[in-house]
Amino acid sequence: EVQLVESGGGLVQPGGSLRLSCAASGFTFSSYEMNWVRQAPGKGLEWVSYISSSGSTIYYADSVKGRFTISRDNAKNSLYLQMNSLRAEDTAVYYCAREAHDSSGYPEYYFDYWGQGTLVTVSS
């Protein structure tokens, strides 16, 4: 069974830092592209960052570029999001999400599994 379990959320002051983790199990983590998607309280979904299966290709939303860093450790089946210079508008539930693959193992670019999310609150 595919499982994605986020951790590391909490309350942090503006300008502070936080590191989120996503522990993956039930599939070959090193073969899949991964993303972080966030949802502010009562709002919609916002894509945050993408990392390729090897970690060699990375993209960020403009809203977090230069402040957030996505990474992965395939040996530990884990995905990370280092968040620096946090702002009030970064307050959200952060989800890790796996990109689907077709039957031949090629990425299909939509998200077939999501974690349960971890809440980040930026407030003084």
Partner 1 sequence: AIRMTQSPSSFSASTGDRVTITCRASQGISSYLAWYQQKPGKAPKLLIYAASTLQSGVPSRFSGSGSGTDFTLTISCLQSEDFATYYCQQYYSYPRYTFGQGTKLEIK
Number of residues near partner 1 (by CB under 8 A): 20
Residues 48-107 that bind partner 1 (CB under 8 A): 50, 59, 61, 95, 100
**13, 25, 31, 116: residue in contact with partner 1 (rule CB under 8 A):** 116
Concatenate the DSSP letters of all residues of the chain into one string: --EEEEE--EEE-TT--EEEEEEEESS-GGGS-EEEEEE-TTS-EEEEEEE-SSS--EEE-TTTTTTEEEEEETTTTEEEEEE-S--GGG-EEEEEEEEEE-TTS-EEEEEEEE---EEEEE--
* Choices 10-18, 23-31, 46-54, 67-75 (CB under 8 A): range interacting with partner 1: 46-54
Report if residue 5 touches partner 1, rule: CB under 8 A: no
Report if residue 45 touches partner 1, rule: CB under 8 A: yes
Site residues, partner 1 (CB under 8 A)? 33, 35, 44-47, 50, 59, 61, 95, 100, 108-112, 114-117
